Amino acid sequence: MEPDSDDEWTEMLKEDAQPAGSLDTMLAPEFTTEENLAYCLAPSEGNHPLGLFQDKYSEELAFPTLFCGQPRNENNVKVHYSEICKWELRHKDRRFAKCVPNIFFKAKKLQINQIQQKVTLSLRKKKLEGKTLTAKDFKDIQRVQEILSLDEGFRVFRTLRGSPPYWENSKKELFAMIRQLGIPTWFMSFSAAETRWLHLLRILGRTLQNKELTDSEILNMSWQEKSDLIQSDPVTCSRHFDYSVRRLISDVMQSSYHPVGDIIDYFYRVEFQQRGSPHIHMLAWIKDAPQYGTDTNEQVVSFVDKYVTCNKPPSSVNNSVQLQSHSHAKTCRKKRQGVCRFGFPLPPMPRTVILTPASDSNEGNGNESLPALYKRIKEYLDGLKLADDVTTTFEEMLHILDMTEDQYMHAIRWSLTADKLFLKRSPSEIRVNAYSKPLLETWKANMDIQYVLDPYACAMYIVSYISKGQRGMSNLMQRATKEARDGNHDIKQRVRHIGNKFLNHVELSAQEAVYLVLQMSLRKATRQFVFINTSPPEDRTVLLKPLKVIQDLPDDSTDVECMGLIKKYAARPKILENDCLADFAAWFDVSTSKSKSIGTQDADEIESEDEPLIEESATDRGNECSIESSNEHATCYTVGALTFKKRNKAKIIRYVRFNEGKDPEKYYREQLMLFVRSMEM
C-alpha cells in the first residue's frame, strides 16, 4: 500500500528532518519582478552610481554595528580586499563571523571583483588565425578594438568558483582522471552531524560564549540550544568541517592503517545539503584493488568484505551518528510514488554477492512469475518499516515468503537493470547504509561507501552531483550569452552582461558564502590538471601581454604573446628533447622570473578556454599518455629565464580530443603532436 502523502511517507524525526545550520540564503532577483513593491527615490538624480569598489566606505556605512562608524585602518602595505575579508572572519572578535548579511556582502563583492578581472583578461585574448601581429598594431587604440574581438561566451567564467562553467570544467577533469588512472575503487559520501559533534559544540561554546562546556552540559542541551549555537557562527562550522575532512583523509584514510585500502589518488566535491551544511562526495583509487570484470567475483567480494559492512553500528558509535540508518524523507520519495530513490529497504542477503539482471521473467515458484515474487518480497520488506526490533534470520524470512534461496535471488535479479553488488545483510539491517567501521568511529557522522562496478555509471553519478543545482543556471547563462551576442555590444560589455546574469540569479547559503570568502576548496584532487591546446595554430587562443608592456616594445617586435605551454615545450633544454609533449606537460612545471611583470602566469590557464564544448566519455580511453615516467632526469633545469622542474607526481592531461570519424585529419595530427617528440608545434 503506497502512502498517499509526504506526511505518511516521511519517517524522520522532526529534529533530524530540519537542518541545524544557518538557513539564510542570498538571492538577488531581477529588480523588475518587484517593481510594484519598490519606492522610486531620486536624491542623486543626474549623478552616476558608484560600484562597490569605487564607493570606498560602502561596507562601513552599510554595517554600522560592525564598524561603529569608523573606517578600516589604512595599511602601509597594500592588502587585497580578499585578504582583509579572511582576516575579519577569522578574527577572535566574532562580530563579522556572526553577521550573515556581512558575509553575503563580502561574497558578492568578491564575485563582482572576479568578474571585473575576467572582463580585463578577456580583452587580452585573441585567435591569431595565422596572422603575425607586431607591437605597432597595438599602439593605435582603434586598431586594438578591431583586434580584440574574441567572443568566448560564458566559458570565460570557468575559473569563477561555483559557476556552471567551473563545475563543467571539474566534470571534464574527473573524466580525464578516470581515463588515465583507471576505474576508481570506492565512491564515498561523508555528511556533517553538527548537533551531535561534541567537539564542535565545545568549540562554539568557547568561541561565542567564552565558556568551556562539559560533555554532560552539551548532552543536556536541547536541540534548539544546539541549533542556536551552530547558526550563530557559520564561519566556525564551515572551517571545522573543512578541517575535519582534510584531517580524516590525511591522518586516517591515508595512514599506514589503510582503513579502506592504500589510497593512491582521490577526487572529492563539497555539496551543501538543502542549502545548509556541507557534505562531500568522493572517489578513491586503491592500490592493487581487484577490478570487476578483470578479476574474479570471489576476489572482488573478498576485498569488499574486508573493508565494508552494513551491520548495525555499536551503540557507542550509533549515539553519535545521526542517520546511518536510512529513514524515508520527502526528498527521497521518487516521483510522488511510494518508492525510495535510494533503493531502501535493501534486500537481505546471506552473503555478499554480485548479481546480474535476469533475462527471463517467467521463471518463478510454480506458476508464479518473477515480478510476482519480487512484489511479495518488496511488500514484506516495506512492512518491516525501520526494522528496529526485527530478529528474523534470512532463513526464517525465506520460510515466511515461501520461496527458496534460488527463487529469491532470481526475483532480486529481475528487479535489476545493471550488475550490482549486495552486501551480506540480515532482515534487521535493511535500512543501514554501508560503512567502514574505522571511518565511522572516527568521523562520528553519517557516511556511505560503495564499491565501483561500472565506471561510466559511477562517473555519471558523481557528475550529476557535481552539476547538481547548476542546470538551470547553465541554461540562464547560455541565454545571456545569446542576448549579449545579439545585442550591439563590444566584448567588454558582453562579458559584463553574462557575469551580471550569474550574480543576480545564483542562490548562496551562508556556509557556501564562507567557503567562497575564505577560499576553501569546493573540489579537491590528488592530481593537478593541465590542458594542452592541440588545435591547429590558427585556431588557438593566445594571451597577449599587457598593453603597457606591448607599447614599450619596438614597432617591429612580434613578441606580443605570453609564453604558453607549447612555446615552453619548444624552449625545453636539450636533455629533454626526447620527451613528447604529453610527457612534458604531465611531468614538468615551468616558471619564469619575468612572469609577474608580463603576466605569463595567466597564459597556461587561458589555453583551456579554447577547448570546444564536447561531451566526453569517462570510459573512452583513446590513446591516453602513460602517467608513469621511464625517463631518468634531474629534478630542475634552467634555460635563460625559464626554469623546468620535474614533478614527483604527474599531472592529468586534457586536450581537445578530436573525433577520429568526424575529423580524421585533426585527430591524427593531434596524436602526432602529443606523442611524437618535436621542437616545433
For the CA atoms of 71, 61, 232, 273, what is the dihedral angle to 10 degrees? -110
Q: Which pLDDT score, from 0 to 100, does residue 428 have?
A: 86
Q: 575-602 burial string, b = 16+ CB within 10 Å, else e?
A: ebeebbbbbbbbbbebebeebeebbbeb
Q: Which pLDDT score, from 0 to 100, does residue 155 have?
A: 52
For residues 124 and 543, the answer to whether their CB atoms sit within 8 Å is yes
Q: What are the residue ranges in the chain where pLDDT is below 50? A: 1, 9, 14, 30-35, 150-154, 336, 471-474, 476-477, 480, 484-485, 595-602, 606, 609-610, 612-615, 619, 621-623, 625-631
On the CB side of 353, CA atoms within 13 Å amount to: 14
Q: Which pLDDT score, from 0 to 100, does residue 673 have?
A: 94
Q: Which pLDDT score, from 0 to 100, does residue 32 have?
A: 37
Q: 233-264 burial string, b = 16+ CB within 10 Å, else e?
A: bbbbbbbbbbebbeebbeebbbeeeebbbebb
For residues 72 and 88, the answer to whether their CB atoms sit within 8 Å is no
For residues 137 and 615, the answer to whether their CB atoms sit within 8 Å is no
Q: Which pLDDT score, from 0 to 100, does residue 146 have?
A: 56
Task: Give the residue extent of every domain in the chain.
Answer: 528-681
Q: Would you state the cell numbers that stand for residue 170, as one nine-digit string?
A: 571539474
Count of CB atoms situated within 10 Å of the CB of 674: 19
- DSSP SS3 for 387: coil
Q: 368-395 burial string, b = 16+ CB within 10 Å, else e?
A: bbbeebbebbeeebbebeebeebebebe
For residues 530 and 585, the answer to whether their CB atoms sit within 8 Å is yes
Which tens digit of pLDDT belongs to each residue from 25-82? 666 554 434 445 555 566 666 677 777 777 888 999 999 999 988 998 888 888 999 9
